[in-house]
C-alpha cells in the first residue's frame, strides 16, 4: 500500500535529483543510480566527496584492494579533519539549540560555537591531550557535548561518550578498556521533571580510571562558575586549528550494547564517518543548508553522532535531553513547532507510544516547517506508518532507516524521490551492496540474512586492542568475505515501480524456529501492536520437547488484564494477519520489558532468563530488574 508520493516539483528540487542528473542518471530511476554506486565504488564515493564539498585533499586513489572487504583502503592518500568540515559556517545564525525538557533552553550561534571549540581545543592540549589520545564523556545531549567532541576531533584525539543514565559499572565496562586522558561529566539532569544528581557517580567513575589527567564537571544549566566554564575562559576565544589527518584516522570509539558480554570498542574513522553521513543527510534525507535537524537521542547511541554530522551539511542542530513525554506528553512536538524543525528523527517506539497515547499533532501543532520524519532503533510497524500520515502530517517524507553502531550509518534508508510503502524501508543505501542471503549463502527473494557484499567507507577501522580476530568473528564468520549484519530481512519490489526496499523481520539471532520454520520477531510485533490493550510486547522461542515454541509476553495498558478473551483476541489477530505458525503457544503478562540504554528490547536476555541461563552483562540494560518478571514462570513449565 502506497502512503505517500512526492510530486514531480518536489522531486526536481531534491539534492538527490541534482546529484543523479549531474552524473547522467534519470532522477526518477533510483535503481540505476544505486547499481552504478555499487558497481563503480571509486567513482561514486569520489562523486560524493565533490558534491558535498568535503574540506580536505582526496588524493589520487579512492579505493585500493576493493575485492577484499577486510583489506580495502579508502582514499589512502587523503587528508581531512572532521571538525573542520562541521565548523564551516560562521555568523550569528543558530548553530545549536538545546532544550532540557521544559526546564532549560540554551543556544550557540556559529561564531559562538567556533570560539567555544577553540577554547576547549586549547584546554585539551593544556591537559596533555594529543593525537590518538582518548577523551571520554558522560554527558546529556547538550551544547557542551557537541563542543567537546569537535574540539577533540580537531586535534586528532578520539571521542567516546555515554549517557549519564548509565550506572558506574556500565560506564567503567566501556571507558576502562580505552583509558581516556580527560573525562567530561555532567552535574545532573532532568528526567520527567525530576532532577537527577550525578556528582557522587562521577566521583566513583573518575576514581576508577587511573589514566585520567583531569575530570571536568559540566553544569547542566550552563553556569559560569563550573569546571567547564573555568577551563574554557582560561583560553583566548579565536578560530580553531585543525590537524590534517589521514582518511582512516580514528574519530569515534562506539560501544556495542554489551548484552552478550563486555561491550566491544568499535573504532570508526573520520573520513568514512563524514562521507557516509554527508551522503545520508544530503542525498537520502534531503537536508540542506539552514535546515533544522532534530533527533531524539542520547550521547550513548550512534544517532547522536549522526545528528552531530548535520553541522557538516550546514544545518542547525536541535538538541533535546529528557523524557520525550514529559509534561503533557507533547513536548517534542512543542519543540518541533517552536523551533521550526524541518527534519525530525526519533525511534519506532516513540511513534508507537504516541499512537497508544492518542496524540494528534496534526490537530494540535503547527508542523508546517516539517519536511521529513526519520524512524530507527527497531522496525517501524505498519500501524505506526499509518499513524504518522493520519495524525502527524499527511504531506511528509517518512523514512524508516536501519543500520547500526557497527557501521555508524545505515544499510537501508529513505529516498525523497520515491513513494513510501506501508511497512517498508524505502531503499538500499547508495554505495552499499546490500542483499538478503539464505543459510547456504545464496541471494534469496524471500527472507534471509542482511549482507553487504562489497566494502564501504564506514566499515570499522578495527576494534580497540584487537588483533583482528574479534572483528572478523563479529561480521565475517558466517559468509567468507561478506559482511553479515545479523538482521533477518526481505527485499521488496513493486510492479511498475523503480523501487527496491526492505522489510526487517527482526534480529537473526532472535529468529523463532518452530517446526524448522524461520519467523522474524517483528512479524509478530506488527500484529500484536494493533491491539489497543497492549502497550508493548516481547516474543521469544522457548526450547520445548525437542522443538521450539513461541512465547509472547505482553505489557498491558493500565486498567486491562490478560484474560482468556484478550488472549484469544491476540491469537486470532496473529492467525488472521500472519500464519498459524506465528500464533504463540503461550501468552503471559509482565509488568515491564527489559531494554538497552538506547531503548531496544532485549529478546536474547529474556530468552536466557526463561531458560535459566545467566544474562552476560546486566550493566548494558536500562532496567535489568525487569528480567525478574520472566524468571521461573510456572506457566512455562507445561
Of 401, 413, 427, 404, residue with least CA distance to 484 = 404
* Residue 589 pLDDT greater than 60, yes or no: yes
Q: Walk across the sheet containing 79-80 and list its strands.
A: 56-57, 79-80, 245-246
Can you tell me the mean pLDDT for 562-570? 94
Q: Annotate 375-414 with b (16+ C-beta within 10 A) or e (fewer).
A: bbbbbbbbbbbebbbebbbeebbbbbbbbbbbbbbbbbbb
What integer pLDDT is reported at residue 224 of this predicted model? 85
**DSSP at 390:** I
Indicate the class that CATH gives domain 511-637: alpha beta
What integer pLDDT is reported at residue 11 of this predicted model? 98
Classify 594 as helix, strand or coil: coil
What integer pLDDT is reported at residue 4 of this predicted model? 97
Of 75, 85, 53, 40, residue with least CA distance to 430 = 40
- CA 129 – CA 288 distance, rounded (Å): 34
- CA 223 – CA 214 distance, rounded (Å): 20
What integer pLDDT is reported at residue 581 of this predicted model? 83
- CA 344 – CA 392 distance, rounded (Å): 11
Residue 68 buriedness (CB in 10 A; 0-12 / 13-18 / 19+): exposed
Can you tell me the mean pLDDT for 486-494? 88
* Residue 495 pLDDT greater than 80, yes or no: no
Farthest-apart Cα atoms in the chain, separation? 72
What integer pLDDT is reported at residue 211 of this predicted model? 97
13-39 residue pLDDT tens? 999 999 999 999 999 999 999 999 999
Query: Do the beta carbons of residue 370 and residue 396 sit within 8 Å?
Result: yes
24 torsion bin: left (phi>0), alpha (psi -120 to 50), beta (else): left
Of 538, 452, 534, 536, residue with least CA distance to 491 = 452
Residue 71 buriedness (CB in 10 A; 0-12 / 13-18 / 19+): exposed
DSSP letters of 603-620? HHHHHHHHTTPPPS-GGG
More confident position, 495 or 275: 275
Of 415, 425, 358, residue with least CA distance to 392 = 358
CA 636 to chain CA mean position, Å: 35
- CA 156 – CA 83 distance, rounded (Å): 9
More confident position, 509 or 103: 103
What integer pLDDT is reported at residue 141 of this predicted model? 97
345-391 residue pLDDT tens? 999 989 999 999 999 999 999 999 999 999 998 889 899 999 999 99
- CA 473 – CA 466 distance, rounded (Å): 11
Q: How confident is the model at residue 258 (pLDDT cuts 50, 70, 90)?
A: low
Return mean pLDDT, the chain: 94
| Span of 279-283, 517-521, 538-542, 569-573 with lowest mean pLDDT | 517-521
Query: Do the beta carbons of residue 561 and residue 584 sit within 8 Å?
Result: no
- CA 141 – CA 302 distance, rounded (Å): 12
What integer pLDDT is reported at residue 470 of this predicted model? 92
Tell me the chain's radius of gyration from C-alpha atoms.
24
Query: Do the beta carbons of residue 135 and residue 252 sit within 8 Å?
Result: no
423-463 residue pLDDT tens? 999 999 999 999 999 988 999 988 999 999 999 999 999 99
CA 53 to chain CA mean position, Å: 25
Can you tell me the mean pLDDT for 562-569? 94
What integer pLDDT is reported at residue 497 of this predicted model? 54
Of 393, 387, 338, residue with least CA distance to 358 = 387
| Span of 45-49, 473-477, 491-495 with lowest mean pLDDT | 491-495
- CA 499 – CA 33 distance, rounded (Å): 12
What integer pLDDT is reported at residue 161 of this predicted model? 97
88-142 residue pLDDT tens? 999 999 999 999 999 999 999 999 999 999 999 999 999 999 999 999 999 999 9
What integer pLDDT is reported at residue 565 of this predicted model? 94
More confident position, 527 or 208: 208
More confident position, 258 or 49: 49
What integer pLDDT is reported at residue 500 of this predicted model? 78
Q: Annotate 74-86 with b (16+ C-beta within 10 A) or e (fewer).
A: bbeebbbbbbbbb
- CA 15 – CA 68 distance, rounded (Å): 32
What integer pLDDT is reported at residue 261 of this predicted model? 65
- CA 557 – CA 311 distance, rounded (Å): 40
Query: What torsion do the CA atoms of 319, 306, 140, 263 make, to the nearest 10 degrees?
Result: 160
Amino acid at each position: 500500500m502506497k502512503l505517500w508520493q512526492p510530486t514531480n516539483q518536489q522531486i526536481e528540487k531534491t539534492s538527490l535529483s541534482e546529484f543523479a542528473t549531474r552524473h547522467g542518471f534519470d532522477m526518477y530511476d533510483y535503481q540505476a543510480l544505486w547499481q552504478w554506486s555499487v558497481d563503480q565504488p571509486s567513482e561514486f564515493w569520489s562523486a560524493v566527496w565533490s558534491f558535498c564539498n568535503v574540506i580536505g585533499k582526496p588524493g589520487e586513489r579512492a579505493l585500493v584492494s576493493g575485492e577484499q572487504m577486510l583489506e580495502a583502503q579508502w582514499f589512502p592518500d587523503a587528508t581531512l579533519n572532521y571538525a573542520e568540515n562541521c565548523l564551516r559556517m560562521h555568523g550569528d545564525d543558530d548553530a545549536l539549540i538545546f532544550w532540557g525538557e521544559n526546564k532549560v533552553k540554551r543556544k550557540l550561534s556559529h561564531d559562538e560555537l567556533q570560539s567555544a571549540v577553540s577554547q576547549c581545543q586549547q584546554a585539551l592540549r593544556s591537559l596533555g591531550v594529543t593525537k590518538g589520545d582518548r577523551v571520554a564523556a558522560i554527558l546529556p545531549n547538550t551544547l557542551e557535548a557537541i563542543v567537546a567532541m569537535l574540539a577533540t576531533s580537531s586535534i586528532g584525539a578520539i571521542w567516546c561518550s555515554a549517557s549519564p543514565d548509565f550506572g558506574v559499572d556500565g560506564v567503567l565496562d566501556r571507558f576502562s578498556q580505552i583509558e581516556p586522558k580527560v573525562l567530561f561529566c555532567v552535574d545532573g539532569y532532568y528526567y520527567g521533571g525530576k532532577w537527577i544528581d550525578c556528582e557522587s557517580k562521577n566521583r566513583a567513575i573518575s576514581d576508577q580510571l587511573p589514566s585520567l589527567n583531569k575530570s571536568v564537571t559540566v553544569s547542566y544549566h550552563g553556569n559560569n562558575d563550573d569546571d567547564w566554564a573555568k577551563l574554557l575562559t582560561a583560553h583566548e576565544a579565536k578560530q580553531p586549528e585543525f590537524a590534517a589527518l589521514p582518511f582512516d584516522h580514528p574519530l569515534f570509539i562506539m560501544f556495542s550494547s554489551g548484552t552478550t558480554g563486555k561491550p566491544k570498542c568499535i573504532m570508526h574513522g573520520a573520513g568514512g564517518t563524514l562521507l557516509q553521513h554527508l551522503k545520508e543527510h544530503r542525498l537520502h534525507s534531503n537536508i540542506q543548508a539552514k535546515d533544522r535537524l532534530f533527533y531524539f537521542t542520547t550521547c550513548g547511541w550512534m544517532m547522536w553522532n549522526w545528528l552531530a554530522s548535520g553541522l557538516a551539511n550546514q544545518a542547525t542542530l536541535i538538541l533535546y535531553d529528557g523524557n520525550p513525554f514529559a509534561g503533557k506528553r507533547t513536548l517534542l512536538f512543542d519543540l518541533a513547532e517552536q523551533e521550526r524543525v524541518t527534519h525530525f528523527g526519533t525511534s519506532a517506539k516513540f511513534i508507537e507510544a504516541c499512537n497508544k497515547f492518542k496524540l494528534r499533532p496534526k490537530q494540535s501543532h503547527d508542523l508546517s516547517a516539517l519536511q521529513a520524519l526519520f524512524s530507527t532503533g527497531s522496525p517501524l510497524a505498519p500501524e505506526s506508518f499509518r499513524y504518522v500520515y493520519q495524525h502527524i502530517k499527511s504531506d511528509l517524507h517518512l523514512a524508516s532507516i536501519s543500520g547500526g553502531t557497527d557501521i555508524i550509518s545505515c544499510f537501508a534508508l529513505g529516498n525523497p524521490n520515491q513513494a513510501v510503502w506501508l511497512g517498508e524501508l524505502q531503499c538500499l543505501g547508495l554505495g552499499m551492496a546490500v542483499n538478503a542471503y539464505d543459510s547456504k549463502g545464496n541471494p534469496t527473494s524471500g527472507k534471509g540474512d542482511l549482507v553487504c557484499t562489497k566494502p564501504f567507507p564506514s566499515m570499522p577501522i578495527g576494534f580497540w586492542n584487537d588483533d583482528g580476530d574479534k572483528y572478523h568473528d563479529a561480521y565475517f564468520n558466517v559468509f567468507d568475505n561478506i559482511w553479515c549484519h545479523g538482521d533477518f530481512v526481505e527485499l521488496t519490489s513493486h510492479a511498475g515501480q523503480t523501487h527496491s526496499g526492505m522489510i526487517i523481520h527482526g534480529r537473526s539471532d532472535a529468529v523463532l524456529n518452530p517446526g524448522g520454520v524461520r519467523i522474524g520477531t517483528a512479524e509478530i510485533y506488527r500484529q500484536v501492536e494493533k491491539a489497543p490493550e497492549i502497550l508493548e510486547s516481547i516474543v521469544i522461542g522457548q526450547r520445548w520437547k525437542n522443538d521450539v515454541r513461541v512465547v509472547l509476553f505482553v505489557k498491558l495498558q493500565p486498567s486491562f488484564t490478560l484474560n482468556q478473551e484478550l488472549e484469544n483476541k491476540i491469537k486470532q489477530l496473529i492467525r488472521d494477519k500472519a500464519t498459524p505458525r506465528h500464533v504463540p503457544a503461550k501468552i503471559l503478562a509482565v509488568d515491564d520489558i527489559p531494554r538497552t540504554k538506547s531503548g531496544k528490547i532485549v529478546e536474547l536476555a529474556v530468552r536466557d532468563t526463561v531458560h535459566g541461563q545467566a544474562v552476560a552483562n546486566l550493566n548494558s540494560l536500562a532496567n535489568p530488574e525487569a528480567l525478574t518478571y520472566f524468571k521461573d514462570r510456572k506457566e512455562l513449565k507445561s
